[in-house]
Amino acid sequence: MKWLLIAFACFQLSECLIRMPLHRGKSVRDVLQERGLLKDFLEKHPYNPYSKYVRPIHEDSTDATEPMINYLDLSYFGTISIGTPPQSFTVIFDTGSSNLWVPSGYCSSPPCRNHRRFDPSTSSTFQMSQKYVSIQYGTGSMTGVLGYDTVRVSGIDITHQEFGLSTTEPGTFLYYAKFDGILGLAYPSIASSGATTVFDNMMAQRLVDEPLFAFYLTREGSQSGSEVVFGGVDPNHYTGQIHWVPVTRQGYWQILVDSVKINGQVVACQDGCQAIVDTGTSLLTGPSYAIGTIQRMIGASQQSNGMAIVDCRYLPRMPYVTFTINGVDFPLPPSAYVLQESCTSGFASMSLGGGEELWILGDVFIGEYYSIFDRGTNRVGLARAA
């Protein structure tokens, strides 16, 4: 039976640590408030979902760069438009799912009313389909209808793009999300209701020079600078060699991890393990027994609320955690795997269900390694982020 990764949303400060399971612990907001840090934290990180941070692009550039806002190192989203004339929405560019959907005027659920809603009646290019869509996430869900319209992503106009218009968004999880919808960039095989993905249409309509896209994620709370490039890579955002890893299963961007080491000792994935590279997951997650070992070895103490706390005073003495992938070591320094604003571990245990023990290399990993997703040869490229 097909299952979907839990979509991630950001609450008022950010209760979006990862694609959370159904029962949640305390949020980052709660922890900061308990420690008396919330006011200063919010002052340092003002939020404006429609800000644009554009770097200069050479006139002869043929790829399309979409700036993204980094919200507290926990979520990354950019702006797209749908319809004629265009209606703007903020979306998560998510390599862990495949559907594009936004709230619609057909929806009266509180989460819809709290976000921008697409009004099909004002778009001269909108066409309704006869298909319905339903996506169940771990802490929220949406149901809706599928329609077609022109979608603009970073100056690229994708005509007759299939997308979801939510008609219900039950519960409160999506109410506080700092984005309107989700733009999935995984393989079409996991698209709900068989909807055609945005990047498949980009390729079919010959709107990108190369069948790949690449992510650069800023860290340490820097709002500006993050970007996704469609149809190419940005050499300014990585150093050294790009190491290519074959995709092992064309659903999520799934690859094989050879091992996980600390101080030269293999602590997980002794016989290799499957992992997905996922821009829509904030942390780096794995099976509970393996993550428990890592937490102990980095000195993190598990709290009753499910979070793992570290003493940031010992950051310089904490070990590197090294992921060996396709024979190449990708070390994560403590500065990458510790969320220093809250002094919490960037590792978390999570079972995805379905009998699979998949690791998720989320934003904690991608922030350290520029990540290229190549649909042409079904491989992932990793290089040290600059």
Residues involved in catalysis: 94, 278
* 56, two tokens: 């200069």
Count Cα neighbours of 192 within 13 Å in the Cβ-side half-sphere: 27
- Cβ contact 355:206 at 8 Å: no
* 214, two tokens: 């690449």
* Cα 366 to Cα 280: distance, rounded to the nearest angstrom: 11
* 309, two tokens: 């706390």
What b/e readout covers 156-165, taking b as 16+ CB neighbours within 10 angstroms? bebeebbbbb
* 58, two tokens: 């050479």
What Cα–Cα distance (Å) separates residue 68 from each residue in 116, 201, 235, 242?
Answer: 18, 22, 17, 23
Our separate counts of H helices and E strands in the chain read 7, 27
Q: Is the bond preceding residue 170 a cis peptide, omega within 30 degrees?
A: no
Closest among 350, 276, 286, 353 to 321, alpha carbons compared: 286
- Cβ contact 13:38 at 8 Å: yes
What b/e readout covers 52-77, taking b as 16+ CB neighbours within 10 angstroms? ebeeeeeeeeebbbbbbbbbbbbbbb
- Name every residue whose Cβ is closer than 8 Å to that of residue 79 and which is 6 or more positions away in sequence: 50, 52, 66, 88, 89, 90, 91
State the amino acid at position 282 in one-letter form.
S
* 202, two tokens: 């980009």
* Cα 168 to Cα 142: distance, rounded to the nearest angstrom: 6
